[in-house]
Every structure is written in structure tokens, then in C-alpha cells.
Amino acid sequence: MKKYIPFLLFLGTIWCSLAMTERKATTVVNGDTPVWEVLRGLGEKAPNHEITVLPKKASTEIGRRIVHFGSAKSVRQQSAHFVCTSCHNTEKEFADLRDNDPQKRLDYAIEHNLPFLPGSPLYGVVNRSSFYNGDYEKKYGALVEPTRNNLREAIQLCAVECSQGRELKNWELESVLSYLWTLELKMEDLKIPAENYNKYTENTEDAASLIAEIKSYYHEDSPAHFVAPPEDRKAGYGLEGDASNGEYIYKLSCLHCHEDQRYSMFDLNDGKLSRNLLAKHFPRYSYYSSYQMIRYGAPSHPGKSAYMPQFTSEKMSNQQVEDLRAYLTKK
Ligand code: HEC
Ligand code: HEC
């Protein structure tokens, strides 16, 4: 028996190396594979918000609690007014991530019973490379610059400016980021035909165009355009409103924050009283005009009071504002 040992060892070594090379060659890309894993396999540089080691107190679970409930156990609430999910969904918001059309976004929200919110979804945020795009630069000025290509800075800006809260401690920030990595895009989220998957596993010269191909299936940024209220608020945006669409906007958007004073002191419900109040002020040049609120939001006072974020044209179209008006004014 003894004399066979070297031979067996030899066989073992061969088997091991075969198994290893085989594992490399069969690196599979399927629907569950994270998009970043595929991109990295093709040689794409890791993003600067990658986490290599989590600091001691940090964990993904703490991050999840901060995002959804505003606190990680004993630490005081990140913000007295909001949690991240007051304004951001943690689900995907389009069936096809190349879309940006607010009506498709609403249709998807209706179908999946999601709120219709002013912020971009946190789902897939780690797959973006630029933040607070477009007109947000006008709103927050120099504050936006460091966040432009830095997700950590973007989170901190939102913690202080959007949430009107305090800055996250480093271990809280890393926890939030770690949770956001659990919301990264998977291959099945993209409308890439599955038969294309094979070519992403090959060691090819043309990796750069494969990377570009994959990225063409989603947005690496969230475009943002501010819109003004209509000049003549009586006439509105001059579009015929669809009350049934407006009902969804009222319920999935306005009531998300205003029902039972969930995130705002201004209490609204689906009763006649609330709807009449909003309907009456809609065409006025007053603080309570929904044109005013939707397009400009309510002003923020750092660290003091809750404010209402405005909706960009990507998050609510003029047509949808008229749909809301039609619902509220419906007899
Ligand atoms: C009161 C509403 C509100 C709250 C609360 C809020 N945000 Fe935001 N956030 C926004 C808005 C509005 C934007 C800019 C529009 C957008 O998301 O594209 C934004 C932008 C961001 C961005 C950049 C997204 C992008 O694609 O440009 C990140 C990241 C972010 N917020 C994270 C958070 C986190 C984490 C929290 C909780 C600590 C939070 N936000 C709380 C409203 C809010
Ligand atoms: C992300 C949460 C959020 C969403 C969504 C939201 N609001 Fe608000 N809204 C607020 C907050 C916060 C205020 C500031 C009032 C306060 O102090 O609580 C406010 C203020 C207002 C006001 C001014 C009244 C006042 O007392 O300040 C009106 C009118 C209003 N919202 C209408 C709407 C309508 C219509 C919608 C749906 C299109 C809507 N809101 C969606 C959070 C929200």
C-alpha cells in the first residue's frame, strides 16, 4: 500500500489543479450574478465606494435599520423628521432600467404597490457613478461638488440636508453603504438577452466594448431637471388631467408622507375635507398651492424643521401634476 502513496499524491495534485482550472473556466454569469462582479471580471476598475473592510462596530444589519428606521439601536435617530425611505424606495422602479419616464415609473409603482417619491431609488445606487446631477447643483451649490462622484459624500449630504439630521458617524456610514451593496443590480435586472451572458465570461480583447454594452442597459446617474409652477396657476400647465391617474399620485405620493402626519405636520387623508383644501389652493399663489409645493418644495432650515422636497420633471411630469389636480377637484 505504502508504495502507492507518492502515486496517489501525484494523482491528487493533478485532480486539484484540474478542479481549479475548471472552476476558472466555468465562471458562470447568470441572472443572480451581480452586475459589478461581471464588470470587474471584464477588467472594470472597482468604484471608490467599494468596501474592503467594515469598521469594528459596523454591520449590514445596522445599515438596514438606519435606512428604514433611522436608528441603529442605542444611537439617537439620524433625523428627527425623516428616515431615508421617506423619500427613497429600496426597490427597483422600472421594469426596464433604461427608462426614465415618470409615467412608466408610476405604472411600475402601481403594479408593485410602491410609494411614488421625490428621491431616486436606493436600489442600484452603488451601480451609479455620479450623484445629485443636473439642477441639484443649483439648489445645493458648492455642497454638491464633493458628492458628484462620491457615494459616501452623497449619503452624508442627504443625511444633513435632505433629512435635516446629523452627519453619520463613520461606522454608521459604512453600515449604510454595506446595506446599499445588498441592493446592487443583478444581471436579471437588466434587459440583456440571457444568451449574451456567455460572452461576458470569456477573456477577450474587446472587454471595453462589452463593459460599455452592459452599462448601456442602465443609467449610471439620475438626471434631474427642476420645473417651475405654471405662470398662470388657474390655467395650469394647459394639459387635460386624468383623475384616475391622479388618484394614484395622491395615494402613492402625497399620502405616503402626509397621512396621519407620518413625516409632516400637515395632516392629509383621502377624505373630502383634505381633497377640497388642496383643490381650493391648487390655483392660488399661496404656500398651500400644490403647484408651489411640488415644484419648489417647502424651504429647509438646517437642523430645524421638516421640509418638503420638490419633484423634478423626472420624478413627476407636468401631466401628472394636472392629473393630481383633476383628481382633487373631481366632484
Ligand atoms: C426628505 C427627503 C429625503 C430623505 C429623508 C433622504 N433623501 Fe436622499 N435624496 C433626496 C433627494 C430629493 C435627492 C436628490 C434626487 C435623487 O435622489 O436623485 C436625494 C439624493 C440622494 C442620493 C444620491 C442619489 C443619486 O442618484 O443622485 C443618495 C445616495 C441619498 N440621497 C441617500 C440617502 C440616505 C442614505 C438617506 C437616509 C440617511 C437619505 N438619502 C434621506 C431626498 C431625501
Ligand atoms: C417626502 C415626503 C413628502 C411627500 C411625498 C409630499 N410631502 Fe407635502 N410636505 C412634506 C413636508 C415635510 C412638509 C412641510 C410641512 C411640515 O412642517 O411638516 C410638506 C408641506 C406640504 C404643503 C404645505 C402645507 C404646510 O403646512 O406646510 C402642502 C400643500 C403639501 N405638502 C402638499 C403635498 C402634495 C399635494 C403632495 C403630493 C404631490 C405632497 N405634499 C407630497 C412632505 C411631503
Which region, left, alpha or beta, applies to residue 75 given φ > 0 means left and ψ of -120 to 50 means alpha? Answer: beta
pLDDT score for 300: 54
- What lies within 8 Å, CB to CB, of 24 at 6+ separation is none
Residue 92 near residue 188, CB atoms below 8 Å = no
Residue 2 banded pLDDT, cuts 50, 70, 90: low
What is the Cα–Cα distance from 134 to 209, expressed in whole angstroms?
Answer: 27
What is the Cα–Cα distance from 208 to 191, expressed in whole angstroms?
Answer: 19
Cα–chain-centroid distance for residue 84?
Answer: 10
Cα–chain-centroid distance for residue 1?
Answer: 64
Residue 18 banded pLDDT, cuts 50, 70, 90: very low
For ligand 1, say whether the CB of 120 is within 6 Å of any of its atoms. yes
Within 6 A (CB) of ligand 2 lie 86-87, 117-118, 253-254, 256-258, 263-266, 278, 287-288, 290, 293-294, 298, 305-309, 324
Query: Is 0.85 surpassed by the pTM of this model?
Result: yes
For ligand 1, say whether the CB of 257 is within 6 Å of any of its atoms. no
For ligand 1, say whether the CB of 308 is within 6 Å of any of its atoms. no
Q: How far is the CA of 195 from the centre of ligand 1 (A)?
A: 36
Cell numbers standing for residue 46: 472597482
Please give the domain boundaries of the chain with CATH numbers for all domains. 27-100+116-224 (no CATH), 243-329 (1.10.760)
What is the Cα–Cα distance from 239 to 20, expressed in whole angstroms?
Answer: 64
Of the listed ligands, the closest to the CA of 85 is 1
CB 48: neighbour CB atoms within 10 A? Answer: 10
Average pLDDT value over all residues in the chain: 88
pLDDT digits (tens, 9 = 90+) for 265-308: 889 999 999 999 999 999 999 889 999 999 999 865 555 566 78
Cα–chain-centroid distance for residue 330?
Answer: 33
What is the Cα–Cα distance from 161 to 87, expressed in whole angstroms?
Answer: 13
Q: How many residues make up the chain in this entry? A: 331
What is the Cα–Cα distance from 111 to 162, expressed in whole angstroms?
Answer: 28
Cell numbers standing for residue 35: 452586475
- What lies within 8 Å, CB to CB, of 156 at 6+ separation is 147, 167, 168, 173
pLDDT digits (tens, 9 = 90+) for 241-271: 999 999 999 999 999 999 988 888 889 999 9
Q: How far is the CA of 48 from the centre of ligand 2 (A)?
A: 35
